Structure 1
Amino acid sequence: MKLIKFDILLLIFFVIISFIGKTNAIMASQRENHSTNIIESDEYEPDDHILSSQIVDNVQLHNFHKKSDQDWGMFYCDDNLVYTIKVVNPGKMCDAVIDLFTIFSQDSILSIDNTASSENEFLTFTCPKKNIYYIKVSNSDPDIYGIDTGYTLYIENSENTDAYEEDDNIQHARIINISNFESQYHNIHDMGDQDWVKFYGVKISGIQ
């Protein structure tokens, strides 16, 4: 009888171990599948280092396409203006961290991670003097990447002009690429402001 009880307990033990092992394997597989469903990088890659920073002069669409992915950008600041770096429309797996650097700073001079996944993140600072500043955007968990990690990046300043000015007439219309659903962020920064865009169209046979 004792031997039978021991065999039953041993069987239960192996069933539990097997269940835990299968559960862990399923979770790992789901996480791996989640991370690798999207393998294409965004159009600004490679931008994984301060030396490969891309100029942020308009609205940019990014994602974290690989483990520990970093997206670096750069922009020129005028003294005494207030700048706000914005990460908006993040995917449900995107918990953005924004770090601000100068070319001479090994560590970030400002860092922000105030919100949770899928929530907008803003970093605001006053520029002390004219300079080039660098932005690093990363996921708070570097092991999360791939699907649903996309976000939109842009910068505003206290003069409230958007990145496409001057674009107040047809002669200064800015090109917008409609073939890849490009978006542009504009605002009405003063009375009578107009924002002009232009795009290339192809005639489709049979459509007047």
Structure 2
Amino acid sequence: MNKVQIKTCFYFVMINVIIFFIAKPVQAVISEDEFENDDNYFAANYLDQVQYHNIHQINDVDWVKFYAVENTAYTITASQLERYCDISLVLYNFYEQDTFLYKANKGGDGENETLTFTCARNSLYHLKIEPSKPYVYGKETFYCISLTNSKNYDVFESDDTINKAKSLVVNADFPQIHSLHNNNDSDLFKFYAQSINKYTIKIINFNIHCKFIIENSKTGDIEHINDGKTIEIINTEGLIYLKISSFNNLCNHSTYSIRADILSGVPNDLVVYGCIMDICSKKTINNAIIISDSYHDPKSATTDSGYFEFIDHEKTTEPVLFRVNVDPMNSIEKYLNYQLNLVVDQRIINITIYLISNIEHLIENLKQLSGINPEQENYFPLKLEHIICRMKSLSGETKPYHKVTYD
């Protein structure tokens, strides 16, 4: 081997060594972060506090969501990136014609990423955090994601009136973080209570200068035990509203967390099939359906507003009625992503509703924006063709619904 060959071979080896060290994926045994499973739009957690995430597996993505108030400037910051972490921030609004809004991907490994925008109208926004280098995952890929705005709103604003009350999901994985951004601010919450259950409302870091009001949508008052920061609700049926506000102008910028739980616990692995019927007319709601999955949370359903009963065709030939409460209040949650309670055999599970008219539109948006077919990538609890088929069957476009076998 002559000198030229030796030199060429040396350079070839060096180039391969360099490529190996540059392109080698970071692969190490690493636990998923506490917010998993948040790999799709429907599993997004509220970005109501600083969250710490990692890229624990190949192609791992994280989704978060927040409400935004019009004419307010928002800044989303990914900081404290570990040395192998390089991420992109992609902002969506699935309620507008232009669903994709902004993307930030200026930084490199270990460099902060920032996305700033001014909200054009009150709405719910979704943020996807994805690795810029899909082959990099595992050790030293942690990052923190946070949200700030120019008016110190929390991510659930605007929630100052009953019509704008936000859902307080019972037995949620995380409490909701709220703040009273000025002395005139109020926060309103709602959830559906069943008389067979005992509920606790727990408030942490509650300012003594704030007042807590609780009432039933039907009677205006309820039976409850109040020990200051923990409220116990018993013997109560109906939609419950909670209100927190200032009573002596000393609550400005007070931050607190709130959660609702059932003392006996809530099952989350129930499988249900069937159609939804109107309680009064006993007729099937043509544009309503319940979808459930024994493995994936949240459960899902599609319907308009109102109160319905559920007939389970899977377990019995006789109609077995279950009540489903879909809050009739007009709110942004109603139109695509809204938490509610399903009562089955005197047990409550949390499910999510989606308006049928938006499902196919959302599918196309996801395909066009990401280049990924959501039907194949688990963007929904069940495959979309099954969802659409059952929707159409209930609306009379196909054969009447009997039973669907899931792949």
Question: TM-score with structure 1 length normalisation?
Answer: 0.66
> What is the DSSP-based 3-state SS (H/G/I as helix, E as strand, rest coil) of the residue aligned with 1:109?
strand
AA aligned opposite 1:119: E
Give, in angstroms, the shift of residue 113 of structure 1.
1.1
**Structure 2 regions of 5+ residues with no counterpart?**
155-176, 181-204, 209-227, 230-249, 258-407
- Runs of 4+ with deviation above 3 angstroms: 104-107, 161-164, 190-197
Name the counterpart of 1:113: 105
How far apart in 2 are the matches of 1:67 and 1:195?
36
Whether the aligned pair in 1 keeps the contact of 2:179 and 2:254 (CA below 8 Å) is no
Report whether the alignment pairs 1:138 with 2:138.
no
Q: Deviations over 1:138-170 (max 9, x none)?
A: 121111111111111111111135654245725
How far apart in 2 are the matches of 1:192 and 1:101?
31
| CA RMSD between the two structures | 3.6
AA aligned opposite 2:133: D
Aligned with residue 51 of structure 2, among 52, 57, 60: 60
Task: Determine which structure has greater relative contact order: mean sequence separation of CA pairs < 8 Å that are 6+ residues apart, divided by chain length.
Answer: 1
AA aligned opposite 1:114: K
How far apart in 2 are the matches of 1:141 and 1:193?
39
Name the counterpart of 1:47: 38
> What is the DSSP-based 3-state SS (H/G/I as helix, E as strand, rest coil) of the residue aligned with 2:89?
strand
Give, in angstroms, the shift of residue 65 of structure 1.
0.8
Which runs of structure 2 are paired with 1:1-208 in the superposition (5 Å)? 16=9, 20=13, 27=20, 31-32=24-25, 35-104=26-95, 108-161=100-153, 164-166=178-180, 169=207
> What is the DSSP-based 3-state SS (H/G/I as helix, E as strand, rest coil) of the residue aligned with 2:103?
strand
How far apart in 1 are the matches of 2:252 and 2:125?
32
Aligned residues: 171
Give, in angstroms, the shift of residue 20 of structure 1.
3.8
AA aligned opposite 1:158: S
Whether the aligned pair in 2 keeps the contact of 1:81 and 1:158 (CA below 8 Å) is yes
Identity rate, percent: 29
Q: 1:196 to 1:129 in 2, by over 3 A?
A: closer
How far apart in 1 are the matches of 2:47 and 2:69?
15
Whether the aligned pair in 2 keeps the contact of 1:168 and 1:193 (CA below 8 Å) is no
Name the counterpart of 1:5: none
> What is the DSSP-based 3-state SS (H/G/I as helix, E as strand, rest coil) of the residue aligned with 2:20?
helix
Whether the aligned pair in 1 keeps the contact of 2:63 and 2:128 (CA below 8 Å) is yes
Whose strand proportion is higher, 1 or 2? 2
> What is the DSSP-based 3-state SS (H/G/I as helix, E as strand, rest coil) of the residue aligned with 1:51?
helix
Q: Deviations over 1:164-194 (max 9, x none)?
A: 424572577xxxxxxxxxxxxxxxxx99856
How far apart in 1 are the matches of 2:87 and 2:30?
19
> What is the DSSP-based 3-state SS (H/G/I as helix, E as strand, rest coil) of the residue aligned with 1:98?
strand
**Structure 1 regions of 5+ residues with no counterpart?**
1-7, 173-189, 198-208
Q: 1:89 to 1:81 in 2, by over 3 A?
A: same
> What is the DSSP-based 3-state SS (H/G/I as helix, E as strand, rest coil) of the residue aligned with 2:24?
helix
AA aligned opposite 1:141: K
How far apart in 1 are the matches of 2:111 and 2:179?
29
AA aligned opposite 1:165: S
Q: 1:107 to 1:160 in 2, by over 3 A?
A: closer
How far apart in 1 are the matches of 2:113 and 2:132?
12
Give, in angstroms, the shift of residue 196 of structure 1.
7.6
